[in-house]
Structure 1
């Protein structure tokens, strides 16, 4: 087996999408292109068996993964997701996008990602703790504050990070708060972390809208996915005067052309765990979400949502990728041809990992910042990163995604070149 990319990926798979994105950026890398193959091969992938005793006394086995894609710029950084559809190929792609994302916003991290193939909704709290602790023990040989720092992702949260931190700490014999980020505040978590990804979507969206002459006051926004990212972004856009005209989550799709009442919507989300039961809106079928008339579209659910067919139906001026890999390469081409600006995931949703970086730094120093300080630092990093990517896009006359990859890949491959090959 020569590499972890030995299985030819389908074009529409997350890994296939990532490889296509790398191919598109190679012409803009100059002499560094000789190192580009580095980006197509994960450095390390670990598949682990997770046996746990269930509440009914039976023993079940679950499959877990941790992939470190590239560590040239620093320790691995990336979330852990619990989902019944998690595969090695998906985790490879998510780790690779973390490599690009961290470099795009110039954080001193490489890219990593983890996951367990499980539906956490089918587990009791005790079973969830067991699966988390066993998974942490199994991947413990490759994670650590200076090696690889997990964080929350789909279906994981601060409680799961607390269990991971405690398990790792017990195994090394010392409290190691910096081994994960996204922890509870009183265990070394950072203020501002929960809404950081959504805030990053808003900040990059605000900057992009300003550059294309789109006034946020009265702008119509459609949001797919209403978890931490989608809901936080929606609240911030509404606070800037925008109207949230459509929302889709696992409980359904709702629309109101006059704008959804955010306070009522958030109350429904807290009460029901979804927005499907919100009374002050019309229900439409999920596929019709892509036909909603809007100015800004925020895909903040899972990857591979915007296909070429859906891209032809989108009626927005601006697409803000709150999710990782929501747009297929063929759809990217359609949106570009139609003049719809896409702010890519690797910059748009980088607010979460940026505040994770702040948390990691605070844990090392045991000195913590206020939420206002966090937000000011976050906004500056996001604005500066988008400015550089925008300038690169204009200079080469390429889409923002290709420009973001060009900026990131140059930083990654320069580090690779300067470090050299060992032995």
Structure 2
């Protein structure tokens, strides 16, 4: 594995807390990757996430599309997003990273941050946009920015389109795996860790596809009901960080310990919160047949090897949660418009095609889905570099 193009650590002069930026690679001088905020965030973590972004971009490469894959990057801040000092820290971090946001790094919300918060901090710093580095690559910048702004203004049943497309991609990944295995949607049970942007949207799409969500874990613990949770009621009872108001629970809903979601009787587990959630010890408690990585890097490598050996299929993050990033660029470059149904249809087609390709490759090679996805991406990365180069051609 090659070293990243750029790796830096920033120390806040007021709090002593650290932030990180890793640019794994550039395509036409630009890279893409969100900004996360969580206590304990490390440079090693951000480096792995940046590499994952390069793979996600490569996996969505379509030579006929307007969207041109970018390089991979990631930002991270070591702070609890609930800390009263968090917003000021975010602003100072972005002020320090301003030269990179202006020139090469396009970013957005990730774990611990909302797009609204990122946009507010970006404006306070004096930046045009969190994705302004890509503007010179657009055919019509004004039209593209207007299209993306209009897309972010779209809501479906009270939830923004920008939150929903990622969950649509996760759900389609799960449904594709079920369909390949000829497992009916109805009666298939799902347990989720995390009920924020990605977890909540995933729960909605899977429920509407006929699956039953039997457990949801948030910062307060796990809420479970073997007969199925009322997902829409729980979505309406969330706070800004995805924690569910327990006053919204029904008589049959039970409150269980934080890690109870791991051993829930369910066919599908969706870790949609933190990285490294499933280690060697945790994997031994899992009874599910599929794990869909809605979060970034939730299953450690040693645990994945043990899961694979006993027939549990891990659908990897570089595929499963790549829909949000792709939707930004499909919209900005003009492959789709600011319309929910068009966005969902395009996401479903693209994710189903990608998951089918990955699972077919894994079966043919006798490897894990992650190994297959990485193999496909490695084949595409040099093709992208040969076609577009690493530096912007002015």
What TM bracket, shorter-length normalisation? 0.7 to 0.9
1:358-396 Cα offsets, whole Å, 9 max, x none, are 34325xx9x952122222222222122112212221221
1:134 aligns with 2:92: yes
> Are the structure 2 counterparts of residues 152 and 239 from structure 1 closer, same or farther at C-alpha, using a change threshold of 3 Å?
same
Rounded to whole Å, the distance in 2 between the matches of 1:261 and 1:158 is: 27
Q: Is 1:279 equivalent to 2:255 in the alignment?
A: no
Pick one of 254, 263, 277 that aligns with 2:223.
Answer: 254
Q: Pick from 150, 160, 164: which aligns with 2:117?
A: 160
- Match of 2:9? 47
| Gap runs ≥5 in structure 2 | 62-67, 135-144, 155-160
Would the alpha carbon gap of residues 215 and 44 (structure 1) be closer, same or farther in structure 2, given more than 3 Å must change? same
Equivalent of 1:400 in 352, 364, 369: 369
Q: How does 1:4-403 map to 2 (within 5 A)?
A: 37-38=1-2, 41-51=3-13, 59-72=14-27, 75-106=30-61, 108-123=69-84, 128=87, 130-144=88-102, 147-167=104-124, 170=126, 175-176=128-129, 178-179=131-132, 187=149, 190=152, 191=154, 192-270=161-239, 274-275=243-244, 277=246, 278-280=248-250, 281-361=253-333, 368-403=337-372
- SS where residue 108 of structure 2 aligns? strand
Q: What is the CA distance between 1:275 and its match in structure 2?
A: 2.7
Q: What is the CA–CA distance in structure 2 between the aligned matches of 1:220 and 1:165, rounded to whole Å?
A: 40
Contact 1:225 1:301 in 2 (8 A): yes
Count of residues paired in the alignment:
365
Which digits, 9 at most, give the CA deviation of each residue in 1:268-291, with x for residues without a partner? 324995236253211222233222
Deviates more, 1:157-166 or 1:96-105: 157-166
Q: Is the 8 A contact 2:323 2:347 kept in 1?
A: yes
> What is the distance in 1 between the residues matched to 2:98 and 2:389?
28
Deviations 1:390-417 (A, max 9, x none): 2221221211110001001121244457
Name the CA shift for 1:360/1:47 in 2 (closer, same or farther; >3 Å): farther
| Structural RMSD (CA) | 2.9
Q: In 2, are the aligned partners of 1:248 and 1:289 still within 8 Å (CA)?
A: yes
Query: Which whole-Å CA distance do the structure 1 matches of 2:146 and 2:76 have between them?
Result: 20
Please say if residues 316 and 340 of structure 1, whose CA atoms lie closer than 8 Å, have aligned partners that are also in contact: yes
Q: Tell me, in whole angstroms, the C-alpha distance in 1 between the residues paired with 2:204 and 2:275.
A: 23
* Structure 1 residue 229 displacement after superposition: 0.8
Distance change (3 Å), C-alpha of 1:267 and 1:185: farther
Which deviates further from its counterpart, 348-357 or 286-295?
286-295
Which secondary structure state, in structure 2, belongs to the residue aligned with residue 214 of structure 1?
Answer: coil
Query: Residues of 2 paired with 1:108 and 1:421: CA distance?
Result: 11
Contact 1:178 1:360 in 2 (8 A): no
Looking at structure 1, the residues matched to 29 and 293 of structure 2 have their Cα atoms a distance apart, in angstroms, of 25
Q: CA deviation at 1:162?
A: 1.7
Q: Secondary structure at the match of 1:216?
A: coil
Q: Is the 8 A contact 2:219 2:258 kept in 1?
A: no
**Displacement after TM superposition at 1:112 (Å):** 0.5
Q: CA deviation at 1:62?
A: 3.3
SS class of match (1:339): coil
Report the CA distance shift for 1:212/1:131 in structure 2 as closer, same or farther (over 3 A). Answer: same
TM-score by length of 2: 0.84
